[in-house]
């Protein structure tokens, strides 16, 4: 096995240029602590406006400025603590800092909770007049519109304060899960065909599953899933509590269901969710065809889950980090020099990316940051096409953040999860298309690139819709007052996998059934479906730009720059895709089918 490591390096052994730029947020941890203390000290200033917002536009503008100061500083405090903890979950001080930041988050929410009820009491007509007359309020038009859209679900000031105070306690549900699986959960080592052992950890499991050594893949996957199975009841009880939290908050705010509450917050009609699920179920045979092609290529009697990521070429391309940055930059050229130059500077000079795996680094990859920080990325890069694709994905998020923060005021420089996954998958689609053109005559590279594409599609267009079906059923059971146990969760997950795998794959009901427990995404209700809608919108948009539509490229950059100044569906319509219809999902299944057919052709 050529690219798995027998032991991960200590955090202190990672060269500085490959670590995130923590000092750009706070020079020292002492500076962080001072900022945290100043937030607590400034809370009374914001609280002093309680009961005063109706006094006039100037008073409201003063309050909004104070609230903006608090929330922006809180964002920096939270990002610094969360990134510090994520890159080394064994760092006890950073874990404590994250807990402190979470507590401050709850205090700030509670302190500012009076504002929405007071604004609603002032009335829409008066607020719109103030926005028109007070320059410091001029950019709050969308905020006011969204506030009154949600009016029926905003409770009294007292209830909103209680919800704010409870946020830290409720957020600790996910923290319990994260600490268990990232810090405490240990896995037996994998063993290769040659008897060599390899450390199984959150930072190494993906590399092990990419191995050409089937014995190493099998033992890595078995031991990884067995680690979760050993704690199935604890993790299930924790997730059940998260489900109950979702149902509780939906009912407190007067929604008909958890899914309605989640979709309403982003102004998404339920048809978007149901269109995705229905179209996915319709096209499951496309996945069955892929499993058949891969089984033939691999020469196996049957595929197992640990074979999903297995390389289909003997010598996979090695892609050092700097090469990946070059390829991604080349793929994004249709968006213009400003986009590409900012991306390259972030990766190679400003240290947006915490690049390599180390002991204690948490699982997965993500883009982080707030209005006043760089758009940081945490990942575990391991010099292959899959890692390059992950970097492209996270850079989609980070460039989305970069452009929104550069263009919008802080109030709109964030964006919803719904549009976030468009930007990330778009970068992957563009980079992949560039490499397919550049290496059109290299059959081995083409197969390896399709393998990377299928791995990505498998995650976002197979696993994520499957998890969306799983969490919908789990929420509905809790809403009906039914108990949900580890046995219930595992059985449902196994049934859904059996449908998706068909006859070409061998199902391990125990280990495949625990898959839900490996995804912390489920602690953010109805998050996962947005990966699938995101990859759908991304391919619908990239297809036009790749066809040479310069106006589509211009509109796409404008879409990235909107942040949350427009509702998600409206922003996407500006970019050129309507997600209220199944068209984009159908288009993307067409792209998937083309990859499967091309792979079949290349490997005959």
For tokens 């020079």, name the residue.
27
Using CA atoms in the order 455, 518, 364, 26, what is the torsion angle rounded to 10 degrees? 160
SS3 246: helix
Longest dimension (CA), the chain: 77
Residues known to be catalytic? 394
Helix (H, G, I), strand (E, B), or coil: what is residue 266?
A: coil
Q: Which of 265, 203, 585 is nearest to 425 (CA)?
A: 585
C-alpha–C-alpha distance, residues 283 and 290, integer Å: 12
Neighbours of 31 (CB within 10 A): 13
| 139/589 Cα distance (integer angstroms) | 40
One DSSP character per residue, 490-530 reads HHHHHHHHHHHHGGGEE--HHHHHTGGGG-GGGGSTT-THH
Enter the tokens of residue 362.
């948490």
Distance CA 470, CA 455 (A): 21
Cα distances from 580 to residues 499, 530, 537, in angstroms, run 26, 13, 11
At 301, list the tokens.
């009697």
Distance separating alpha carbons of residues 207 and 213, to the nearest angstrom: 11
Asked whether 357 and 380 are in contact (CB, 8 A), the reply is: yes
Q: Is 65 exposed, middle or buried (0-12, 13-18, 19+ CB in 10 A)?
A: exposed
Query: What CA–CA distance (Å, rounded) separates 81 from 83?
Result: 6
Distance CA 552, CA 426 (A): 13
Pairing of strands 353-354, 197-198: unpaired
Rg (the chain; Cα; Å)? 24
Q: How far apart are CA 77 and CA 293, in angstroms?
A: 49
């Amino acid at each position: 096995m050529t690219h798995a490591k027998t032991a991960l390096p200590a955090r202190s052994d990672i060269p500085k240029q490959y670590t995130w730029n923590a000092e750009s947020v706070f020079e020292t941890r002492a500076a962080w602590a001072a900022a945290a203390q100043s937030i607590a000290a400034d809370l009374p200033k914001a609280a002093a406006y309680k009961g005063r917002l109706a006094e006039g536009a100037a008073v409201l503008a003063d309050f909004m400025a104070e609230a903006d100061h608090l929330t922006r500083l809180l964002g920096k405090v939270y990002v610094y603590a969360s990134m510090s903890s994520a890159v080394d979950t064994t760092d006890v001080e950073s874990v404590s800092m994250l807990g402190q930041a979470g507590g401050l988050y709850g205090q700030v929410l509670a302190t500012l909770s009076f504002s929405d009820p007071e604004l609603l009491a002032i009335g829409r007509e008066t607020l719109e007049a103030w926005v028109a007359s007070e320059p410091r309020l001029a950019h709050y038009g969308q905020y006011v519109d969204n506030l009154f859209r949600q009016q029926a679900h905003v409770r009294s000031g007292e209830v909103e304060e209680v919800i704010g105070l409870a946020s830290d306690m409720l957020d600790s549900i996910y923290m319990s899960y994260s600490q268990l699986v990232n810090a405490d959960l240990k896995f037996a080592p994998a063993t290769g065909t040659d008897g060599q052992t390899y450390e199984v950890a959150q930072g190494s499991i993906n590399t092990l599953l990419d191995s050409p050594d089937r014995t190493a893949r099998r033992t890595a996957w078995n031991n990884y899933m067995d680690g979760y199975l050993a704690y199935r009841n604890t993790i299930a009880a924790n997730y059940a509590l998260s489900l109950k939290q979702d149902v509780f908050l939906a009912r407190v705010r007067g929604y008909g269901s958890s899914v309605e509450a989640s979709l309403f917050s982003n102004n998404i009609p339920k048809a978007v969710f149901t269109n995705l699920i229905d179209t996915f179920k319709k096209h499951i045979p496309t996945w069955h065809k892929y499993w058949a092609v891969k089984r033939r290529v691999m020469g196996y009697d049957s595929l197992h889950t640990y074979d999903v990521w297995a390389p289909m070429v003997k010598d996979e391309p090695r892609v050092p980090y700097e090469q990946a940055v070059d390829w991604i930059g080349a793929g994004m050229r249709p968006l213009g020099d400003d986009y590409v130059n900012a991306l390259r500077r972030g990766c190679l000079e400003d240290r947006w990316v915490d690049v390599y795996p180390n002991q204690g680094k948490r699982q997965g990859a993500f883009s982080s940051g707030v209005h006043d920080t760089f758009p940081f990325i945490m990942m575990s890069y391991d010099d292959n096409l899959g890692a390059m694709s992950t970097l492209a994905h996270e850079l989609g998020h980070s460039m989305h953040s970069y452009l929104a923060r550069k263009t919008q005021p802080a109030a709109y420089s964030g964006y919803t999860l719904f549009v976030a996954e468009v930007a990330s998958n778009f970068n992957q689609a563009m980079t992949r298309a560039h490499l397919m053109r550049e290496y059109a005559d290299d059959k081995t590279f083409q197969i390896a690139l399709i393998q990377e594409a299928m791995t990505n599609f498998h995650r976002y267009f197979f696993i994520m819709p499957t998890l969306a079906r799983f969490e919908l059923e789990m929420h509905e059971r809790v809403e009906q007052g039914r108990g949900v146990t580890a046995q219930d969760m595992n059985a449902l997950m196994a049934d859904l996998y059996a449908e998706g795998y068909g006859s070409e794959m061998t199902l391990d009901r125990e280990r495949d059934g625990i898959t839900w427990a490996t995804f912390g995404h489920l602690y953010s209700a109805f998050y996962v479906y947005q990966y699938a809608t995101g990859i759908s919108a991304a391919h619908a948009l990239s297809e036009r730009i790749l066809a040479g539509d310069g106006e589509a490229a211009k509109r796409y950059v404008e879409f990235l720059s909107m942040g949350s100044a427009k509702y998600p569906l409206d922003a996407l319509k500006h970019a050129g895709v309507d997600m209220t219809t199944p068209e984009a999902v159908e288009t993307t299944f067409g792209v998937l089918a083309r990859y499967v057919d091309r792979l079949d052709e290349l490997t005959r």
